[in-house]
């Protein structure tokens, strides 16, 4: 595969969609309880500032793009990430209105991103974006492919998470292809990509766990063993989301890896069809 070959099989389309979850309770919206609800909530804390970082790192490399299709997809990527940031900011305000320490937790995210942008070269900043895009893409694939992940959740919040997962799938290769256009696919480019991915993966899950712990503290649920067991089951047994993404996670280390080698466009097409038929983002696809 040549470094400028762009193989995304789906267009990357910005959609201006609003979600309203304010009628739900943050700690119990997931039927498996507080610990599982807050696992999702913890990830939402990272999205508004994280999406801004992704946009910034890709924009810094726009001058390296010569493929017109990739240039068009970059516009879609930026538009989609901006919408994700907007809707997860609303989501996070909902958490804050229920007394969760969102401002303090987001300030941690801002500090971490600030360190990354101050001390890492542009190539490494883009490699961090690639890494996080792969993590979100494989989690999105699991969410879309296994109905148990959001089984029996309220349609208002299920539709938000599925919309986000669909768009993460649509643009899962954009940052990767920008990196390839800017830095090629040689040995040193590969080393930067995989070592950044290893470090970023560890740091991301550590930060999610710290955030999750803080949300549980607000609810006095840190010592709730039944809740921890529900979370463990959800992540490792049934549906086992963390277990399910291990091999896709590992695939990133292949020298010839490309995100669309795992072609899951069928989820995108089914979602788009349901959206076109009803005019509202579907909660189930």
pTM of the model: 0.95
Q: Does the pLDDT of residue 3 top 70, yes or no?
A: no
Q: Report the alpha-carbon distance of residue 14 to residue 114 in Å, rounded.
A: 27
What percent of the chain shows pLDDT beyond 70?
98
Q: Is residue 115 part of a domain?
A: yes
Over residues 133-177, the pLDDT tens digits come to 999 999 999 999 999 999 999 999 999 999 999 999 999 999 999
Q: Does the pLDDT of residue 4 top 80, yes or no?
A: no
CB 127 within 8 A of CB 229: no
- My answer on whether omega of the bond before 239 falls inside 30° of 0, hence cis, is yes
Q: Is residue 14 part of a domain?
A: no
Q: Does the pLDDT of residue 267 top 90, yes or no?
A: yes
Q: Report the alpha-carbon distance of residue 93 to residue 88 in Å, rounded.
A: 8
**pLDDT for 51:** 97
**pLDDT for 216:** 98
Q: Is residue 163 part of a domain?
A: yes
* Host domain of residue 121: 34-278
Count: domains in the chain: 1
Over residues 168-220, the pLDDT tens digits come to 999 999 999 999 999 999 999 999 999 999 999 999 999 999 999 999 999 99
pLDDT confidence tier of residue 9, bands split at 50, 70 and 90: confident
C-alpha angle 147-241-168 in degrees, rounded to nearest 5: 75
Q: Is residue 262 part of a domain?
A: yes
Q: Is residue 12 part of a domain?
A: no
* Cα–Cα distance list, 82 to 156, 199, 201 (Å): 20, 26, 23
Q: What is the mean pLDDT of residues 248-263?
A: 97
**pLDDT for 5:** 52
Q: Is residue 184 part of a domain?
A: yes
Q: Is residue 13 part of a domain?
A: no
CB atoms within 10 A of CB 87: 20
Structure tokens at 227: 């809740």
Q: Does the pLDDT of residue 2 top 60, yes or no?
A: no
Length of the chain (residues): 285
Place of tokens 């020298």: 255
* Cα–Cα distance list, 176 to 58, 79, 130, 139 (Å): 10, 17, 6, 17
Q: What is the mean pLDDT of the chain?
A: 96
**pLDDT for 6:** 56
Q: Is residue 53 part of a domain?
A: yes
Q: Report the alpha-carbon distance of residue 51 to residue 85 in Å, rounded.
A: 6
Q: What is the mean pLDDT of residues 119-139?
A: 98
Q: Does the pLDDT of residue 223 top 70, yes or no?
A: yes
**pLDDT for 236:** 98
Q: Report the alpha-carbon distance of residue 172 to residue 177 in Å, rounded.
A: 10
Residues 116-141: b if buried by 16+ CB within 10 A, e if exposed: beeeeeebbbbbbbbbbbbbbbbbbb
Q: What are phi and psi of 31, to 5 degrees?
A: -60, -15
């Amino acid at each position: 595969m040549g470094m400028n070959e762009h193989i995304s099989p789906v267009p990357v389309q910005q959609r201006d969609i609003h979600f309203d979850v304010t009628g739900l309770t943050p700690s119990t919206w997931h039927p498996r309880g507080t610990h599982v609800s807050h696992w999702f909530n913890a990830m939402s804390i990272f999205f508004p500032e994280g999406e801004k970082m992704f946009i910034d790192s890709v924009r810094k490399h726009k001058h390296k793009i010569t493929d017109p299709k990739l240039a068009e997809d970059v516009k879609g990527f930026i538009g989609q990430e901006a919408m994700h940031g907007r809707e997860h900011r609303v989501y996070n305000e909902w958490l804050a209105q229920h007394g969760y320490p969102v401002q303090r937790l987001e300030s941690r995210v801002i500090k971490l991103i600030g360190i990354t942008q101050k001390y890492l070269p542009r190539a490494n900043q883009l490699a961090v974006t690639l890494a996080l895009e792969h993590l979100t893409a494989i989690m999105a694939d699991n969410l879309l492919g296994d109905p148990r992940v959001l089984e029996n959740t309220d349609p208002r919040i299920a539709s938000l998470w599925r919309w986000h997962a669909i768009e993460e799938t649509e643009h899962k290769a954009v940052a990767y292809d920008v990196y390839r256009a800017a830095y090629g696919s040689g040995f040193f480019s590969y080393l930067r990509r995989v070592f950044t991915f290893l470090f970023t993966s560890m740091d991301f899950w550590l930060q999610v766990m710290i955030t999750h712990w803080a949300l549980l503290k607000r609810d006095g649920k840190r010592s709730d063993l039944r809740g921890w067991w529900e979370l463990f089951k959800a992540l490792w047994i049934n549906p086992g989301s963390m277990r399910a993404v291990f091999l896709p996670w590992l695939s990133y280390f292949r020298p010839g890896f490309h995100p669309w080698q795992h072609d899951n466009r069928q989820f995108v097409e089914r979602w788009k069809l349901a959206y076109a038929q009803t005019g509202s983002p579907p909660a189930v696809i």
